[in-house]
Amino acid sequence: MLKNLLEPKSIAVIGASEDVSKPGGRLTKNILTKGFNGNLYLVNPKGGMIQGVKAYPSIPELPEAPDLALIGVPAKFVRASLEELAAIGSKIVVVLSAGFGELGPEGKKEEKLLAEIATKHGILLLGPNCSGIMTYAHASKFTGAAFNLVRGGIDFISGSGATVDFLAEHAMRRGLTFNSFLTVGNSAQSGVPDIMEIYDDGYGPDSSKIMITYQESIVNPQKFLKAARSLNKKGCLVAGIKAGTTQAGSRAAASHTGAMATNDTAVQALFDKAGVIRVSSRMELVDVAMILQCVKGRTDGKRIAIVTDAGGPGVMLADELNRQGFEVPPYNERIRQRLAEVLPPGAGLNNPADCLPSINGPVMEKVLNILMEEVKDDYDFIVFMMGDSGLSDNWEIYRVLDDAMHKSPIPIIPSMVSVLSSEVPLRKFREVGGCYFEDEVYLARALSRVVNRPKIYEPESGAVGYDRVKISHLMDDQHGALTPQVTREVLQAAGVRFPGQIELTDKAGLKNVPFAFPWVLKVMGPLHKSDVGGVRVNINNLSDAEKTWDELMKIKDASGVLVQQMVKGTEVIIGANREEGYGHLVAFGLGGIYTEALKDVQFALAPLGKEEAGRMIQSIRSLALLKGVRGEPGMDLETLQDILVRIGLLVTDFPSIRELDLNPVKGYGKDIFTVDARIIVD
Provide the residue ranges of all domains of the chain, joining segments of one domain with +: 301-451, 570-681
Q: Is the peptide bond before 23 cis (omega within 30 degrees of 0)?
A: no
pLDDT digits (tens, 9 = 90+) for 212-252: 999 988 989 999 999 999 999 999 999 999 988 764 433 43
- The CA distance from 405 to 410, in Å, is 9
- The CA distance from 435 to 296, in Å, is 12
Contact 387, 339 (CB under 8 A): no
- Read off the DSSP letter of residue 115: H
- The CA distance from 5 to 201, in Å, is 13
Residue of 505, 531, 504, 506 whose CA lies nearest to 519 = 504
- The CA distance from 98 to 186, in Å, is 9
Contact 436, 414 (CB under 8 A): yes
- The CA distance from 27 to 461, in Å, is 51
How much is the pLDDT for 256? 35
Distances (CA, A) of 329 to 290, 348, 351, 380, 465: 24, 14, 7, 11, 49
How much is the pLDDT for 371? 94
Residue of 88, 96, 83 whose CA lies nearest to 16 = 96
Phi, psi of 30 (to 5 degrees): -65, -40
Contact 154, 293 (CB under 8 A): yes
Burial class (CB in 10 A: 0-12, 13-18, 19+), 308: buried
Residue of 393, 289, 375, 283 whose CA lies nearest to 329 = 375
How much is the pLDDT for 330? 95
CATH hierarchy code of domain 570-681: 3.30.470.20
Residue of 202, 218, 207 whose CA lies nearest to 266 = 218
- The CA distance from 372 to 599, in Å, is 46
- The CA distance from 482 to 478, in Å, is 7
Class of domain 301-451: alpha beta
Beta strands in 124-245 (DSSP E): 124-126, 132-135, 139-141, 154-158, 178-183, 210-215, 237-242
Q: Where are the alpha helices (DSSP H) in 204-298?
A: 221-233, 256-260, 263-274, 282-295
Spans in the chain with pLDDT lower than 50: 247-261
Neighbour tally for 663: CB within 10 Å: 25
C-alpha atoms less than 13 angstroms from C-alpha of 468 in its C-beta half-sphere: 11
Residue of 447, 443, 446, 401 whose CA lies nearest to 422 = 401
What is the full DSSP assignment across 162-179?
A: HHHHHHHHHHHHTT--EE
Angle (CA) 412-417-418 rounded to 5° is 130
- pTM of the entire predicted model: 0.89
Q: Where are the alpha helices (DSSP H) in 507-622?
A: 542-552, 595-598, 610-618
How much is the pLDDT for 595? 67
H or E stretch including 539? strand 535-539
